[in-house]
Amino acid sequence: MADNNAADHEQSFVESVKEKITETFHKDDSASSDSDNDANKSSPVSDVKDKIYRLFGREKPVHKLLGGGKAADIFLWKDKKVTAGVVGFATLIWVLFELVEYHLLTLICHTLILALAVLFLWSNAASFINKSPPKFPDVVLPEDIVLGVANAFRLEINRALAILKAIASGKDLKAFLGAVAGLWVASILGSYCNFLTLFYASFILLHTLPYLYDRYEDKVDAFGEKAEAEIKKQYAVFSVKVLSKVPVGALKAKFA
């Protein structure tokens, strides 16, 4: 009887070990299958993210497109005090020149008169009030900054001239029509406001539109996708009805 009990005990022990091993393998298989399912599920999501429409084919964040430095922080209102100061100063200049009708030379002269008067009185009154006179630092315009700004302007002007040359060459009709439309809109805006007001409006838009786009990026991209599809549709109709009837080949052969 003792031998039978020992055999039964040994057999039950072996069966319990087998059950534990089987459960372990089942858990590993289920975990691997779940991970495979998760991998299969994550790939379509990543594919969808890769295929999300971005305005103007943008691939980088807005902050990177604006340079990624201090200027980008100002445009996107990352440093609200600095941005508010810049916008406030631009608004003050526009109010003085446009609403108050100040002239540039008059403003510079009045500012210099006020600054010189304050510093002159401070320097002479310092001995009477037992305070040190103001220290005037040596203000020198660095040569590298001047050359850097001039070089940046030179590069932008050369780029604009290259674009105008490419448009005027007659190889891209779409670019030509876009340039004519842009200049026509600019001429209409110029008839309603002067250069200072137009510059100020552009300055305010530069500090407003990137911030709004960065905040409402998904909604703007969805609307831009629909608008681009509609524009392409209308351009295709215009190309069939109008552009296809323009004898471009005959003109090229005539002027060749």
The per-residue pLDDT for range 7-21, each reduced to its tens digit, is: 455 455 445 545 655
Percent of the chain with pLDDT over 70: 72
CB 210 within 8 A of CB 66: yes
d(CA 77, CA 228): 28
CB 90 within 8 A of CB 81: no
Structure tokens at 51: 């295929």
Confidence of residue 174 (pLDDT cuts 50, 70, 90): confident
The per-residue pLDDT for range 71-86, each reduced to its tens digit, is: 888 888 888 899 999 9
Out of 24-28, 195-199, 248-252, the most confident range is 195-199
d(CA 217, CA 78): 16
Looking only at Cα atoms, what is the longest distance across the chain? 122
d(CA 28, CA 244): 66
Establish how many alpha carbons lie within 13 A of residue 212's alpha carbon, considering only the half-sphere containing its beta carbon: 7
pLDDT at 71: 80
pLDDT at 3: 45
Question: Is residue 165 helix, strand or coil?
Answer: helix
CB 211 within 8 A of CB 76: yes
d(CA 147, CA 10): 92
How confident is the model over 175-188, as a mean pLDDT? 88
CB 222 within 8 A of CB 54: no
Q: What are phi and psi of 97, to 5 degrees?
A: -85, -30
d(CA 170, CA 164): 11
- Dihedral angle sign, alpha carbons of residues 41, 47, 48, 50: positive
pLDDT at 39: 44
Q: What are phi and psi of 75, to 5 degrees?
A: -65, -35
Higher pLDDT, 13 or 53: 53
Structure tokens at 180: 């004519």
Q: Tell the burial category of 75 from Cβ atoms under 10 Å away from its Cβ (0-12, 13-18, 19+).
A: buried
